[in-house]
Chains A and B, each alone.
Chain A
Amino acid sequence: QSVLTQPPSASGTPGQRVTISCSGSSSNIGSNYVYWYQQLPGTAPKLLICKNNQRPSGVPDRFSGSKSGTSASLAISGLRSEDEADYSCAAWDDSLSGPVFGGGTKLTVL
């Protein structure tokens, strides 16, 4: 049971915009930065969004992050087939003194 809650699956067609939600609490998302990761099958997580809405160098601007209260969202616009992957959110948790993760959302490009 993951501390952060994400939908297990999401889908869209090429060119569409999809959003993935991440719900937490005051001890994690409510008081700390949210990070988002992309994980292709059989590979390590790759950082997509840091500090709620900042894209590391090399991440396309099709990916964007937002946060409000104890929830956060990842938006992917202009969906492409190569975006098919698992997406996970994360945040530091003040009560657990460690980062907590969502269970991951499997994105399917139809």
Chain B
Amino acid sequence: EVQLVESGGGLVQPGGSLRLSCAASGFTFTRYAMSWVRQLPGKGLEWVSVVGDSGAATFYADSVKGRFTISRDNSENTLFLQMNSLRPEDTAVYYCAAASMIVVPPDYWGQGTLVTVSS
């Protein structure tokens, strides 16, 4: 059974940092591109970032470019998102998601972790 389990969310002040993690199991992690997708309260889904299967290729949404860094540890089947200079508009549920190729939307999704940016 595919499992994606996010952790690291919480309450942070504007300008602060958080590091999200996603532990993957039940599929061959090294064959999948991995993404972070967020959902603002009561809103639709918004792509944040994607990393290719080897970790070499990364892409970011303009809204987070220069502030967020995506990475993966294929030896530990884990995906990360380092979030710096957080803003109130970054408040959302962040989902970890896996795609069979980097150029398609995800197949599998985690349960999400809530990030709240507020003073």
- A interface residues with partner B (beta carbon < 8 Å): 2, 32-33, 35, 37, 43-47, 50-51, 56, 88, 90-92, 96-104
Contact = CB atoms under 8 A, between A and B. Distances in A.
B27 interface: no
B44 A35 contact: no
8 contacts: A32-B104, A45-B95, A88-B45, A92-B105, A97-B59, A98-B59, A99-B104, A101-B105
Contacts of B99: 99
Contacts of A50: 104, 107
Contact of A96 (B37, B61, B95, B105): B61
Interface of B: 35, 37, 43-47, 49-50, 59-62, 95, 99, 103-112
B35 A2 contact: no
Contact of B45 (A33, A43, A45): A45
Given A88-B44, A88-B45, A104-B44, A99 B106 contact: yes
Contacts of A43: 111
A46 B103 contact: no
B47 A98 contact: yes
Given A44-B110, A99-B37, 19 more contacts: A33-B105, A37-B45, A44-B95, A44-B109, A44-B112, A51-B104, A56-B107, A96-B61, A97-B59, A98-B47, A98-B49, A98-B50, A98-B61, A99-B47, A101-B44, A101-B45, A101-B105, A104-B44, A104-B45
Nearest to A94: B103
Contact of A103 (B37, B44, B47): B44
A43 B95 CA distance: 11
A32 to B, nearest CB: 7
A50 B44 CA distance: 19
A92 B49 CA distance: 12
B47 A101 contact: yes
A102 B44 contact: yes
